[in-house]
Amino acid sequence: MEAHRLALSSLITLSFFLAILPPSYCTDYARFVNCSRPYECGRIKNVSYPFWGGNRPESCGRQGFKLECYNDEYPIIKFEELEFLILNINQAQNNMTIARLDLWSGSCPQTYLDTVLNYSFFDYAPTVLNITLFYGCPPQVNKSIPVQNRFTCLEGSDANNNAYFVNESSAKIHILEPEKCRGKIRVPISRNAIIDESAGVVHALNESLNQGFDVDYNPLHDTACNGCVRSGGNCGSKETHQFVCFCRDGERSYSCPGNNMYSLFSSHFPGLG
């Protein structure tokens, strides 16, 4: 009989708590759980705010930081028309190493697009060196380029498939009529990725492109996010892109309260917390 009264009392208390919980409790708790999951793709693991994608909803990150998984190997981030493979992310330093997807399997893209970033959130690191690739150049242009800077792109039956590259250190090379080339693109590489032609210019160029280049991203909301995490919450964004801290019992502007309704609820019903 005593056990029956205890069970009835617990049921009444539980009903009371459920009645006074805010309507958004379940939704906010789901966001707390969702944003506690790190993003993972291939060798890139444990990625959190400001990045989102995969099993992390948009509310778990920031605008401009959406990731997609490429062949279960690398995450991809998109800037305008170009997609970039993410080779490494250092969240402690707010930077990452990326490489152009269209140049990943070779230095001859189908379309000629300069490398661009979303400069509202990203910028090139000091370790970056720019090179310019020229494609479809006529013979008079090709003859003015040092042999070690030339390579060939296969374009079917088109005989005009001469190509070459120049970097910042070779910019003083006198190039005859480069505007007569079919196209050109500007591509960043790492200054440490020295193009060594001893193994062949095409191989060396591809190796340099595949090493990628470093970009820094805007540490906006880092202080707020650190405070949110220390308080037991998970960082995210509202539909207005404003920072929000997801707590077990709902959302807060910056941090989770120490003695909140969730704590009180869990103390009465530890099996449900």
Q: What is the pLDDT of residues 211-258, one digit of tens each?
A: 999 999 998 889 999 999 999 999 999 998 999 999 999 999 999 997
| Residue bearing the bigger pLDDT, 119 or 174 | 119
pLDDT over 50 (residue 269): no
pLDDT over 90 (residue 2): no
Own/partner pairs for 220-227, CB < 8 Å, 24+ apart? 220/50, 220/62, 220/121, 221/50, 221/62, 222/94, 224/254, 225/49, 225/50, 227/254, 227/255
pLDDT over 90 (residue 157): no
What pTM was computed for the model? 0.80
Rounded to 5 degrees, φ, ψ at 40 are -140, 140
- Token representation of residue 119: 């400069």
- Token representation of residue 255: 């941090």
| Residue bearing the bigger pLDDT, 193 or 224 | 224
Q: What percent of the chain has pLDDT over 90?
A: 53
pLDDT over 80 (residue 11): no
pLDDT over 90 (residue 178): no
Instruction: Determine the residue type at 238.
Output: K
Residue 164 has a pLDDT of: 86
pLDDT over 70 (residue 199): no
